[in-house]
Amino acid sequence: METVEVINELYGVLAIYLNHFKAVRRQISKERVGAKYVRRYETQAKTPYQRISEHVSITEEVKERLRLEHAMLNPLHLKRQIDTLIQKIYKIQTATR
């Protein structure tokens, strides 16, 4: 039960880190050529935060709230928190064996 609580905490921190600081290139197209697939990707990788900031249907109120949240985040601190929680899960699992 203790493991579940730590994993839930890890997912909370990990979601923030991935959404604000981990850039991803999206697949634009996928064509079958013979027995293989040819995939085309965006030229520039973007974070989900950047995609929402650029989207026209998202209100300015939501964008401003996200900007304030993003300004308060420190990627190094989040990464250290993630590493600490992973080590904690590992210690819990090895102690119960």
pLDDT tens track for 5-48: 999 999 999 999 999 999 999 999 999 999 999 999 999 999 99
SS3 64: helix
92, 6 contact by CB (below 8 A): yes
Structure tokens at 66: 């996200």
Query: Can you give the pTM of this predicted structure?
Result: 0.83
2, 28 contact by CB (below 8 A): no
Q: For position 95, what pLDDT does the model report? A: 87
